[in-house]
Amino acid sequence: MSAHQNFQVDRNKAYKGINIFNKGRNFNKKTKSERLMEGIAVWGSFYRSNPQRFVSEYLGINLKLFQCILLYMMMHNHYFMYLASRGQGKTFLTSIFCCVRAILFPETKIIIASGTKGQAREVIEKIDDMRKNSENLAREISDLKTSSNDPKVEFHNGSWIKIVASNDGARSKRANLLIVDEFRMVDFQIISKVLRKFLTAPRSPRYLQKDEYAHLTERNKEIYLSSCWYKVHWSYNRFLTYYKSMMDGSSYFVCGLPYQLAIKERLLMEDQVKDEMSEDDFDEVGWSMEMEALWFGESEKAYFKFEDLEKNRKLSSPLYPLDYYQLLRDSSFKPDPKAPGEIRLLSCDIATMEGTDNDASVYSVLKLVPVSKGRSYERHVVYMESIVGGHTQTQSTRIRQLYEDFNCDYIVLDTQNVGLAIFDLLSQPLFDKERAKEYEPLNCINDEKMQARCVYTSAPKVIYSIKGNASLNSKIAITMKDALKRGKLKLLMHENDGKEVLKSIKGYENLPTETQSQLILPYAQATALINEMINLEGETNPDTGQVKLKEPRSKRKDKYSSVSYGNHIASELERDLNKNSETADDDDLVYY
């Protein structure tokens, strides 16, 4: 029997019970107060069994069929996991269930946690919106605060909803219902040792003090919400645990609903989905997890492992081109000055033709931060942007703009094929129509033949030329893997965390959505880089020991190429730091 049929049967039974109750008792012999309380008891039982009816009939909120089923399962299972694609109204449904539970079960303590406190606060904000259109909901609420300091909802019947941070500081709280939104973003140790410990005591209505009602003690509930993620992550094993328990008949429920459902229910526009899927920088892996509700498992041949990449997402703030800093007037939102000994690289993988498998030019900015007494560099990938197609003149101008904006010391340039034309334009005076500025010519630093192409002998030698071949490509791949293993290459944190950083900047939340997305993009680019890299399969030539990378799924590796070129030059610069040393220290790169 389907879940929809289940709650229809429960509804019919409840209606039948109400009729029997009415026929079997003489209401005329009871006082008005007794009749009222008995009626409330019957309807309370009915609505507890059928929360979707309560939402419709009492709160006056219309739900889609799939939302009715999910709400029913939330109410009737102790453990609930919902893996949702974007556009399904996950926060909206969570907010509704919190209100239903709080109203129908007086003195219920509800705690909401998430990867970030601001994200969990969205549930409170959604309830604030809903009560404006539901008079009954507004009457149930005694106090509601959406401030970042103490967001909460309090009900006249003693129930409350509060937000906690997902860290050790949240200890000693108590709850009957725990909701963890985007649970994959929360450390599993925090969930198991902090958040789940909130559920130590069940709700204790006074009737439970009577022996005849002792068997009616209620179980506390746990609800976990997220999109899918990588199979190597702990959240996938948690999903499997829920699935097995559900199939064994325990009070567990788990489901994953893809984007097609949101389109069918008119919560997501089909044209919008098609447009996103047709974009040249479409992230197939990210789409599979976020929109198709599918867990992604890297290939056994994957050269770069997700764990190595994810552990290096340590950077909280990107650097931006100079014009970005004009968008906000917060004095804290300004370019970082260079630290002593810091070197900045603009690393470029070049493409010019649209419509090919690898047709995006990618420009990455790496900060090389001295460590180990100045004898080694940490590589911080602080910015990345991509351009699909583009005339060589346009790309050359953009490279010069970024070189100036980020106060870079060197340009790392792929000078094979079309990249050679970019070098030729950079090696002569270049006029920027957009900024009404002429840039001086630049020359190559590491290749005499490339130097000879520049007729301006006094041009600064700041361009590192990369000409890929089997040997160099293998060396670059090994160097990149080594840097990740050693934790020397740092990436920006996940975009959800990055959004919280941006929200702390005065004026950010008042910006247009398109501008906000523009500021979040560097975080999203880091995610796209990871998804691209875990798709690269490595093959080692048994004769030469050289590594060859293939891209069987996404058919792209432009972001990898851009960052790995910069990482390769960072290693060369490290050797310059240590070339006069008699012995290399522990941070020197070892090829293996």
Backbone angles phi, psi at 388, to 5 degrees: -85, 125
Model-level pTM? 0.79
d(CA 495, CA 429): 38
Q: Each residue of 483-497: b (16+ CB within 10 Å) or e?
A: bbebebbbbbbbbbb
Task: Report yes or no: 288 and 296 within 8 Å, Cβ to Cβ.
Answer: yes
* pLDDT for position 19: 53
Structural domains in the chain, CATH included, are: 75-204+216-297 (3.40.50.300), 306-578 (3.30.420.240)
d(CA 378, CA 380): 6
* pLDDT for position 583: 46
d(CA 39, CA 33): 10
Task: Report yes or no: 564 and 476 within 8 Å, Cβ to Cβ.
Answer: yes
d(CA 363, CA 355): 19
Query: How many residues make up the chain in this entry?
Result: 592
Task: Report yes or no: 318 and 523 within 8 Å, Cβ to Cβ.
Answer: yes
* Chain centre distance of CA 236: 16
Task: Report yes or no: 443 and 463 within 8 Å, Cβ to Cβ.
Answer: yes
d(CA 188, CA 363): 35
Calculate the average pLDDT of the chain. Answer: 88
Count how many Cα atoms sit within 13 Å of the Cα of residue 317 in the half-sphere of its side chain: 12
Q: To which residue do tokens 């130590």 refer?
A: 200
**Strand ranges for 339-459 from DSSP E:** 343-349, 360-371, 376-388, 410-414, 430-432, 437-439, 443-444
For 246-269, the pLDDT digits (tens) are 999 999 999 999 999 999 999 999
Both tokens of 268, joined, read 């997501």
List average pLDDT for each run of 10 residues in the chain, which is 592 residues long. Answer: 51 52 57 77 90 95 95 96 93 95 95 84 93 94 89 95 84 89 92 91 82 84 94 93 96 96 92 86 86 88 92 95 91 91 95 58 96 90 88 93 97 92 95 95 95 94 94 95 95 91 91 93 94 91 90 78 96 83 45 34
Backbone angles phi, psi at 124, to 5 degrees: -65, -45
Beta bridge partners of 432: 437
* pLDDT for position 582: 46
Q: Under 8 Å CB-to-CB from 498, ≥6 apart: which residues?
A: 316, 318, 492, 520, 522, 523
For 534-587, the pLDDT digits (tens) are 989 999 988 888 999 988 655 678 999 999 999 999 999 998 887 755 444 444
Distances (CA, A) of 575 to 240, 370, 565, 585: 47, 13, 16, 11
d(CA 480, CA 473): 11
d(CA 97, CA 95): 6
